[in-house]
Every structure is written in structure tokens, then in C-alpha cells.
């Protein structure tokens, strides 16, 4: 697990976009795993800028999203389908038939989840998975005590996660209780995992993920077993790390061929 500490969220998003861009330049038909929420917004804006400047091309890219609310139509303004089209897909040249998002209205959710797993495998697996982290250490919607070998499935959200996501819904609407999410095991099969985290609210989760024991109580801690995970955090998100000076030293002294700049 590589820990990169930068000063600001903007710097983290800029570096994250460079890493995604390098992946696309190396392999134009890359399969990207995509996250939602506030964390990756600036990353997507950076990628849109690189596309507009004709530095990267998404025409051969395939995407799979991490999760979706059960019971929300794709057109619902709070669905992750709507989020992705509004904040990313409408601004790049990715082919619609290469976009995969869980269907929150699937009549048979268990079968839909099996088909989603099958589609990932048929695409050759995910080359680079973009991730955020919840304040309780969840990734995707794999809440604490999720199996570290879990696959795409339905999950029940905790009260904390529903509270955290409430600002994305109208005041008169309830956050759905259930979601479809890639499993921890699904995420771990990605060739590269790229996590971004910002702010003091994520500091404890980052510490537990990086320096704590591997535990289903902190699903993100399973990334310690992943062969190529890059974690980019701002100073505040890194504030609880006991070895942050070492992480800075390692990054500053990387061999030139390993650098992202």
C-alpha cells in the first residue's frame, strides 16, 4: 500500500487524475471502476479537463460503477446513475454501451448481482478502481462486518451512512435502506486500487485502514493485502497516521521510473 500525503484536496485530485490518465495512455481500452460521492468530483473534473485538452481518450474505455441505491430509478436525481452522467459521462467520449451501472430497480437483485460480476469478468477485470472511504472505514457500500471475500450483492446501510448521505436527498425524502454494491472481494481483484480521502472526518478511518489490523470491522483494511493500492490523502486526512513522516520520505525518494509527476 502506497501512502501519498499532499497539502490539499486539489493537489490530491490532480495527482489522482494523472494516475488515471497514465493508465489510459498505457492501455486505451482500460476497464475503470468508478466511485461516487463528493470525494471523486474534483478527480472527474480534472479528467474532463484532460479530455477537453485532447490529452486522453475514453472511446475504448469500459466502466463499472461501485454501487447504486435499491429502489431508485436511473433518472432519479439522487441515483448514482444520474450522478455519473451529470458529473462525468456527459462530458467525455465514453461509449454508452461500455458503461455499466448497477440497476436499483432490477426485479431479481440476486440474479442482477451475479450478472454484474459476470460482466466484470467478461470485460477482463477492472484495471483501475477509484475508491473513497467512509468515516467508519467502509469502501463501496461494504459496511463494517462485511465479508472481506464478498461479491456484488445487496447490503443494508447503517444509520451513520444514511445520515452521511442525507444531504444528497430532498428534505422530504428518506435515504434508501438498501444498496447494490461491489463486494470487498470484487474490489480486491482490481489490478490497481486508487483511493482518495480528504478532511479530518476521514483521519481515523485512514489510520485504521493503513496502520490497524485487517478486520471486517474496517472493510477498507483489506486493501493491506492488495498488491497495488495507492492512497492519496490531504494533510488533514493524514493527521492520525503515526508513520506519516515515513510515508512522505518514501514518496519523495521514489525512483524516477516509479514517479507519477
**130-154 tens-digit pLDDT:** 999 999 999 999 999 999 999 999 9
CA geometry: angle 3, 139, 123, nearest 5 deg: 95
pLDDT tens across 182-234, in order?
999 999 999 999 999 999 999 999 999 999 999 999 999 999 999 999 999 99
Order across the sheet with 153-156: list the strands.
67-69, 178-181, 153-156
Q: Pairing state of beta strands 99-100 and 62-65?
A: parallel
For 125, phi then psi, to 5°, come to 90, 165
Confidence of residue 168 (pLDDT cuts 50, 70, 90): confident
In a domain, residue 26? The reply is yes
- Give the CA-trace dihedral at 161, 165, 167, 170, to 10 degrees: -110
Mean pLDDT (the chain, rounded): 96
pLDDT tens across 64-91, in order?
999 999 999 999 999 999 999 999 999 9
What's the pLDDT score for residue 49?
A: 98
Which residues, other chains included, contact 1 with Cβ-Cβ below 8 Å and sequence gap of 6+?
Answer: 210, 223, 224, 226, 229, 231
CATH code, domain carrying 153: 3.40.50.1360
Q: Is 199 left (phi over 0), alpha (psi -120 to 50) or beta?
A: left
* Annotated catalytic residue within 9, 68, 103, 138: 138
Are the C-beta atoms of 15 and 260 separated by less than 8 Å?
Answer: yes
Mean pLDDT within 102-114? 97
What's the pLDDT score for residue 25?
A: 96
Q: Kindly give the interhelix angle for 9-26 and 41-52, rounded to the nearest 10 degrees.
A: 50
In a domain, residue 235? The reply is no
Confidence of residue 170 (pLDDT cuts 50, 70, 90): confident
* Annotated catalytic residue within 9, 68, 103, 143: 143
* Annotated catalytic residue within 9, 67, 189, 208: 67
In a domain, residue 232? The reply is no
* Annotated catalytic residue within 136, 189, 208, 234: 136
In a domain, residue 252? The reply is no
Is position 178 annotated as part of the catalytic site?
no
Asked whether the whole model's pTM tops 0.85, one would answer yes
| 261 has pLDDT over 80 | no
| 173 has pLDDT over 80 | no
**In this prediction, what percent of the chain has a pLDDT beyond 90?**
91
Count how many domains the chain has.
1
| 52 has pLDDT over 90 | yes
Order across the sheet with 2-6: list the strands.
2-6, 229-234, 192-197, 128-131, 31-34, 62-65, 99-100
Of residues 30 and 159, the one with the higher pLDDT is: 30
In a domain, residue 53? The reply is yes
Is position 136 annotated as part of the catalytic site?
yes
**In this prediction, what percent of the chain has a pLDDT beyond 70?**
99
In a domain, residue 134? The reply is yes
Q: 74: number of CA atoms within 13 Å, CB side?
A: 9
Grid cell for residue 239: 493527521
Count of beta carbons in the 10 Å neighbourhood of residue 114: 14
Is position 189 annotated as part of the catalytic site?
no
What's the pLDDT score for residue 174?
A: 84
- Parent domain of 190: 8-221
What's the pLDDT score for residue 172?
A: 63
Three-class SS of residue 204? helix
Q: Is 211 exposed, middle or buried (0-12, 13-18, 19+ CB in 10 A)?
A: middle
> What's the CA gap between 235 and 206, in Å, rounded?
12
Grid cell for residue 237: 486526512
Is position 29 annotated as part of the catalytic site?
no
In a domain, residue 250? The reply is no
In a domain, residue 191? The reply is yes
Amino acid at each position: 500500500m502506497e501512502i501519498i500525503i499532499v497539502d490539499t484536496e486539489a493537489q490530491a485530485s490532480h495527482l489522482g487524475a494523472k494516475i488515471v490518465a497514465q493508465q489510459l495512455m498505457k492501455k486505451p481500452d482500460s476497464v475503470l471502476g468508478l466511485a461516487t460521492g463528493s470525494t471523486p468530483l474534483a478527480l472527474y473534473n480534472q479528467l474532463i479537463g484532460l479530455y477537453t485538452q485532447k490529452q486522453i481518450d475514453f472511446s475504448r474505455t469500459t466502466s463499472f460503477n461501485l454501487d447504486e441505491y435499491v429502489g431508485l430509478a436511473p433518472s432519479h436525481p439522487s441515483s448514482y446513475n444520474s450522478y455519473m452522467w451529470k458529473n462525468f459521462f456527459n462530458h467525455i467520449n465514453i461509449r454508452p454501451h461500455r458503461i455499466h451501472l448497477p440497476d436499483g430497480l432490477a426485479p431479481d437483485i440476486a440474479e442482477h448481482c451475479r450478472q454484474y460480476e459476470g460482466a466484470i469478468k467478461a470485460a477482463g477485470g477492472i484495471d483501475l478502481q477509484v475508491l473513497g472511504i467512509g468515516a467508519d472505514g467502509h469502501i463501496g457500500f461494504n459496511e463494517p462486518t462485511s465479508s472481506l471475500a464478498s461479491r456484488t450483492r445487496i447490503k443494508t446501510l447503517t444509520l451513520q451512512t444514511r445520515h452521511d448521505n442525507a444531504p444528497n436527498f430532498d428534505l422530504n425524502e428518506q435515504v434508501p435502506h438498501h444498496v447494490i454494491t461491489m463486494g470487498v472481494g470484487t474490489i480486491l481483484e482490481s489490478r490497481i486500487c486508487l483511493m482518495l480521502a480528504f478532511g479530518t472526518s476521514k483521519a481515523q478511518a485512514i489510520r485504521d485502514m493503513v496502520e490497524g489490523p485487517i478486520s471486517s470491522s474496517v472493510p477498507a483494511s483489506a486493501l493491506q493485502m492488495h498488491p497495488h493500492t495507492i492512497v492519496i490523502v490531504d494533510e488533514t486526512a493524514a493527521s492520525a497516521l503515526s508513520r506519516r513522516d515515513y510515508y512522505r520520505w518514501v514518496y519523495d525518494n521514489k525512483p524516477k521510473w516509479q514517479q507519477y509527476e
